Every structure is written in structure tokens, then in C-alpha cells.
Structure 1
């Protein structure tokens, strides 16, 4: 399994690369009126308006740092197979990948926690974000 690594504050997280459509530089977004704080806003991605979620604000309660390594990870929204909806996930230090093979020792993977040497990596489950995202989708019809 190839994982895309990123930070939220000083904590290391990963997302399965099969979920990732593209990683792009941070862009200006249009804020949404009355949206939760963790919704950074909307932007035009290849002719589609998609929401951007500030993962650091959502998970740790403080916004992503505005630095060069802050990126937007475009992921496919898990929905109907004939639909290709996207979501942007803003994270820090999106600069590395990690290949974890399925034949590795079972102690290295426990639930959503992965041990890589001395590093503890939390595997982010994109689907766990979607109940609230679905509510936003209905409200703002993007």
C-alpha cells in the first residue's frame, strides 16, 4: 500500500494513495457563509467547484500553516460509481510517501496506526469525514 504522508501540526498522518487524485499547491478559496470553520472554502478545480477542508482545523483545532509545503490533496468523494465528485483536503508538509507492503509483520499495522521505525503514523480514513461533508454538499449544492 502506497501512502501519502503529511503533517497536521507536529503529528504525522497518511492517506492511501488510491484515494488521491492529485496534490496541488494551496490556492485562494472562496469562504462560505455559515459553513463550519474547518471548511476553508470552495475553488474551481478543472471546471468543477469543490470544497476544501482544513484538516488541521478539523482534527487539531488550529488552521494549517501558510507555508510552501502546505498543499491541497484532491481526493475522490466516495459516492455513486458513475459520479466523480472531488474534495480538497488541506494539510501541511505534503512532501513524502511511504510504501507499506501487505506482507510486513502484523505488529507494524494496528487499526489506523502504523509504526515506521520510530515514527507513529495515523492513517486517515477519508470516509470518516463524509457524514458532515454530505450535509455541506446538500446545503451548498456543489
Structure 2
């Protein structure tokens, strides 16, 4: 499995790159009211409004810092309406990938009661924890996030 590495605080995390659309520079999103505090806001992505989750805030409790290596990882998020919607994941030090054929994201277990936290594993870089980004937003929370034409991926109007 090819994984994209990023940091939240001093901790190293990895997510399966299979559903990554692209990695873009950090953007300043528009704040949205009445959403969980780890939702940084929404921004215009190829003509549609797309939510951004601040992974540093979610995992570490502090906002992602505006650094050169802070990026927005664009993924296809499987929402409750049965469609895949673009979703931005803001993270720090998004600069490397790691290939681990011995790991399988479909068989990875979760840690505790938090469905998006996956297995910990050791690598030459240190201890790395998998993130199951598909489980970052629960069903009740996803409805207000995917609003206003977020189905217009790549300017084509299709999802």
C-alpha cells in the first residue's frame, strides 16, 4: 500500500493514497457556523464548495500552522447520499510517501473507540499511525458539510 505521510504536532501519521485526488497548497477557508471545531471551513475547489478538515486540530488539538509544507490533501469522500464528494484534509509536513506492501487498509483495525485511528506500526522514520480518513466525519455531521455544488469535481459537473 502506498501511504501519504503527514504530521500533527510531533506525531507522524499515514493515510492510504488510493483515493487522493491531488495535493494542493494550503488555502484560507471561509469559516462555517454550527459544524465541529475541526472543520476549518469551506473553499472553492474547481467551481464547487468543498469542506476542509484540519487534521492537526482533530488529532492534536491545535490548528495547522501556515508553513510551506502545510497542504490540503484532496480525497473522494463517500458521503451518506451514496456519492463521492471532494473533501480537503489540511495537514502539516505533507512531503513524503511510504510504500508498505505488508499493510492493507481494508484489513486495518481501529484503535479504541475512534474509528478514524488505525494501527500503529514502526518504520525507520519512527512510530506511524494509520488514519482511516473515510471515517473522519460521522453520518449526522456530513450533511451540512457537502453543500452548494460540491459535486462539481474537475469542473465537469460529475462526481
Shift of 1:44: 1.0
Q: 1:112 maps to what in 2?
A: 119
Q: How many residue pairs end up in the alignment?
A: 135
Shift of 1:140: 4.9
In 2, Cα distance between equivalents of 1:54 and 1:75: 14
Q: What CA RMSD, in Å, does the superposition of the two structures yield over aligned residues?
A: 2.3
Q: Are residues 129 and 141 of structure 1, via their aligned partners in 2, closer, same or farther at CA, if it must alter by over 3 Å? A: closer
In 1, Cα distance between equivalents of 2:49 and 2:29: 10
Unaligned runs of 5+ in 1: 104-108
Does the Cα contact within 8 Å between 2:85 and 2:146 map onto a contact in 1?
no
Q: 2:77 maps to what in 1?
A: 77
The alignment's TM-score, normalised by the length of structure 1, stands at 0.84
Q: Are residues 120 and 88 of structure 1, via their aligned partners in 2, closer, same or farther at CA, if it must alter by over 3 Å? A: same
Q: 1:135 maps to what in 2?
A: 140
Which has the larger share of helix? Answer: 1
In 1, Cα distance between equivalents of 2:88 and 2:146: 16
In 1, Cα distance between equivalents of 2:58 and 2:41: 13
Shift of 1:141: 4.7
Q: 1:106 maps to what in 2?
A: none
